[in-house]
Amino acid sequence: MKASVSSMARPGYRRYLGAAIGIAACLGISPAALAQQPDSTTIIHTFMGRQLSSEVTSGISQMSGAAVMNVPIINNLNRMQGRLAGLFVMQNNGEPGDEGASLQMRGKRTFRTNTPVILVDGFERSMDLLDPNEIESITLLKDAAATAQYGLRGGNGIILVTTKRGKEGNIRISFNARTGVKTPTTQPRLLNSFQYATLYNEALVNDGNQPRYSAADLDKYQQASQGIYETEMDRYLYPDINWYDEYVNQHTWQQRYSVDVQGGNKTARYFVSAGYTSNSGLYNVDKAANTYNTNADFGLITLRSNIDVNVNKRFSLQLDLSGRQEQRTFPGSRSESSLRVFRSLYKTPPNAFPVFTPDGYLGGTKDFTGNPYGLLNKQGYSLYYVRNMFATLRARHELDFITPGLYLRGSVGFDSWYDMVTNRSKSFKVFDLRQPNGNVEYKPDGTIRYVETGSDTQMSSGVEYPSTRRTLNADASLNYERIFGKHAVSGFAAVAQRIIYSENNGDIPQAYLGGNGHIAYAYNKKYLAEFNFGYQGSEQFLPGMKFGFFPAGAIGWVLTEENFLKHNKWVNFLKLRASHGISGNDDIGGYFLWFQKYAGAGGVNFGYTSIGYSGWNETAFALDNVTWEKVRKTDVGIDAVFFNNKLNVSFDYFHEKNTDIMIQPALPYLMGIRFPDFPIGVIENKGFDASVSYTQKFGDLELALTGIITKANNTVVNRGEEKPRFDYQARTGRPLDAIFGLEAIGLFKDQPEIDNSPRQTFGVVRPGDIRYKDQNDDGVIDAYDEVFLGQGGFPTLQYGAGLGARFRGIDLNVLFTGHNGSMQNLTGESIWEFHDNGTVRDHHLGRYNPEDPNTWANATYPRLSLSNKANNQRTSTYWLRDAKMVRLKTLELGYTFPEKLSKKIRMENLRVYCSGYNLFTWSPTDLIDTEARSSHYVVYPIQRVLNAGISVTF
């Protein structure tokens, strides 16, 4: 007999999944979320293979691409948030074309890169900007049994993306079109000129200085805030400008179109698709000022062709070709465009200068040269162009003439990446109406005498920075799948190579070579076992230490195949599983660390004339024991289906220990040379992830509830730390992203309270300053009083909860996501007053005012200052905020027209829908978007999207 994975499917198992999967397909909810299956064939994608879900013994989560096809966000990484148990997803910013996300699988386990490897159709490729219409499924490989085959690259987990392929049948054409409007999720609440001037005077007085603004000035600013000006010149001398509102549009647009054609017969099948995406920037640019575009716009064209051909009954081929062309524009230099623009918009005081002077010149001063209008319209532009091409050829040859179930498989892939940045920059001059003494002076001809800063230059001819990268992948495997009565056996042995050639600044080619294997055994569909291994090497390691062996094993027990549960009407499926093994991480901080390196030294002088001679010295000395990090993973899980296949549950507990992490230990400088990083770091990471779904049908109403949760806590076991003076200051035994600082116990109310408290050593302390706890009771507050305050960085808990409903032709899908378990230390522009010559926000109105006793007891912010900030700007609990958040991540409402009506207009299916993304947020703080985990207003803000679309199939 001829065996295949699909032929090994258990009829009963497929039968009880049918109801859940059918509802999932109708509701647009991932079958993976409902029953952990991609489709009705109940096949789970694994590394270089596939397995029946009923026989999977490793930690794997999977979702259907259909579940996120209409999510109105460009970057696919964000589409996975709240949908896959075990995956942490945090969006970084909202700039068109760069709305990327940071990913962690089951938390953080190293000081270095924690990002999982992404494989698209078996090879390492980016999934960020794939057209979502191309994605068939997304699979997480989480434990060692699932990732060991990828050797020294699998330690952080693997994400498998499988693209769609053609199916037998008549030609089928699908067209999707959607357009949407975007707005920032949060906006800064900046104060007006009168409030700014008032608080600025108060800060000066608090520092013992004279006020800058007179009572007459304050009256002018108060009138300006109401739109009242006594003279036309007052508009320029007493401006009141909210720069953020002035130059950030309240909304902007995006659109996406895609078409795919698929079909075929038993000999050949095809899937061909094309997509176009356009996304416009938020900047309010002056389109009449230039003939070129200075907004942050993004355009993308994607193409894909997946062809399957059965050459004969034993030999088949697959040819996949795909590519994309991307173009982005920026105001000024791409490298600092959004940072510089948003920092200017957020920080520039509302009264710093007018946009234009009375004579039409750009306003500005020697202290404020970044006129936002000039930054957006007068400093040139950048153009970023990307062109990618990916090609894969696969072949399979059945060897059933030797023995049934035996076949050869091989593939080769070639990737080409080309990008180019064109900077065409120029600078602009700004004009200050006021002279250094603060007065306006006029020339003899009656025109204003301006103070000029900077210079107007012609646009540069253009500096282009092209870069290219080519990647060659190849693998071959001998595979075997066979059923002998009650025994099912499958396995493969493979070899693989990956070479990356980069032509950027003399980058050194990277190469990986190795083999891997898999053996799986199932007895009577209830006792399961598998062994996986990877043997892989990299050129960056020391000769004789380039290769490593990464074994892993897993076992499973399907209890519902036992007689005592086989016919239980409440428990339809129950499986216990466990795995243990080793995987690796080769991101150790550099290449060829075993080479001794030298650097140019300052040199020495000789003779009476002090002739200088340059020299060389050793940098950090070379190490002869540098290898990859070794991640030992243990996973215990359960998969179950209850109540006539309505309730599906999966739960995993995991424990990981990562060793040989490169770190800089605390060592004395007795050798006169810098010590290198040593492979002595150890981190433990443990937690759980789970998914649950429930489906029910009430007549024409179909409902599906889904939920996932991931919890991960890491602990630093060894970081080469010197024993601190006080045990509570030890970083060892704490999380990787531990925040250490002072414990704030309020604000000093008056001078007697300061006099009767431990002495704080961080500059001059006055009433209204932050008061800190003396941790060691020595009567002094200093660095020895810094303690562990909480965990920063990624949250330790992330979850998602979904609702799907369908009533006749109407469907509704809702997804809430949230995270918890981390703190945000607010610093800089996001919280402090007048930071770096900046402005103020509404929360500064709650400050302690020494001149107003009514503020002393209930102040929510320390006294204001321009110079004496050392005490108040220490890292402390005063500035920490709980970064937890709950979001209405996606909401989609659609209507599918009746089949009779669709066929009348010669359509197989017609659906219209509207959807939203990042619609509502609940968080303890509204000062920043805690998902971005940064000072939100100096990076491009995360976007809220409202979208409408149509889907047609012919």
What is the phi-psi region of residue 111: left when phi exceeds 0, alpha when psi lies from -120 to 50, beta otherwise? Answer: alpha
Distance CA 917, CA 890 (A): 5
H or E stretch covering 584: strand 571-585
Buried b or exposed e, range 748-782, using 16+ CB within 10 angstroms: bbeeeebeebbebebbebbbbbbbbebbbeeeebb
Six token digits for residue 477: 């495997």
- Beta strands per DSSP E along 164-313: 169-184, 252-264, 268-279, 298-310
Question: Angle at CA 109, nearest 5°, toward 105 and 114?
Answer: 55
Q: What does the angle CA 148 – CA 154 – CA 156 come to, to the nearest 5 degrees?
A: 130
pLDDT band at 937 (very low <50, low <70, confident <90, very high): low
Residue 386: partners with Cβ closer than 8 Å, 6 or more residues away: 324, 325, 326, 327, 417, 418, 419
What band does 829 get if pLDDT is binned at 50, 70 and 90? confident
pLDDT recorded at residue 463: 67
Q: Does residue 935 surpass a pLDDT of 70?
A: no
Tokens 């004279």 -> residue: 210
Residue type, 734: R
Determine contact, residues 527/561, Cβ cutoff 8 Å.
Answer: no
Instruction: Find out whether 798 and 815 touch, Cβ atoms under 8 Å.
Output: no
- In sign, the C-alpha dihedral spanning 851, 856, 858, 864 is positive
Rounded to 5°, the CA angle 548-688-490 comes to: 50
Are 144 and 581 contacting, i.e. CB atoms less than 8 angstroms apart? yes
User: Between 673 and 412, whose confidence is greater?
Assistant: 412
Task: Report the 10 Å Cβ neighbour count for 915.
Answer: 21
**Residue 460: band (very low, low, confident or very high) from pLDDT cuts 50, 70, 90:** confident
Q: Do the bridges between strand 780-781 and strand 759-760 make them parallel or antiparallel, or are there none, so unpaired?
A: parallel
Q: CA-to-CA distance for 557 and 606, rounded, in angstroms?
A: 80
pLDDT at 21 > cutoff 50: no
pLDDT for 503:
74
What CA–CA distance (Å, rounded) separates 261 from 166? 9
Per-residue pLDDT tens over the stretch 478-506: 999 999 999 999 999 999 999 988 876 66
Token digits of residue 731: 């970083």
Cα 685 to Cα 631: distance, rounded to the nearest angstrom: 10
| Minimum mean pLDDT range among 289-293, 332-336, 396-400, 717-721 | 332-336
> What are φ and ψ of residue 378, in 5° steps?
-125, 10
pLDDT digits (tens, 9 = 90+) for 512-541: 999 999 999 999 999 999 999 999 999 888
Tens digits of residue pLDDT in 157-199: 999 999 999 999 999 999 999 999 999 998 899 999 999 999 9
Tell me the mean pLDDT in the region 879-898.
95
Cα-flanking dihedrals φ and ψ of residue 714, to 5°?
Answer: -110, 155
Of all residues in the chain, what percent are helix, strand and coil, respectively (each to 5)? Answer: 15, 45, 40
- For residues 42 and 408, the model is more confident at 408
Residue 904's pLDDT is 82
SS3 251: coil
Answer whether 405's CB lies under 8 Å from 481's CB. yes
What are phi and psi for residue 738, nearest 5 degrees?
A: -65, 140
Token representation of residue 708: 């996932």
Predicted TM-score (pTM) of the model is 0.92
**813 vs 608, more confident:** 813
Put residue 574 in one of left, alpha, beta given phi > 0 → left and psi -120 to 50 → alpha.
beta
- Span 225-240, mean pLDDT? 95
Confidence of residue 944 (pLDDT cuts 50, 70, 90): very high
Degrees (nearest 5) of the Cα angle 812, 816, 819?
A: 170
Question: 6-162 belongs to which homologous superfamily?
Answer: TonB-dependent receptor, plug domain (2.170.130.10)
Residue 578 has pLDDT above 90, yes or no: yes
Give the DSSP letter of residue 442.
Answer: B
Average pLDDT of the chain is: 90
pLDDT tens for each residue of 190-208: 999 999 999 999 999 999 9
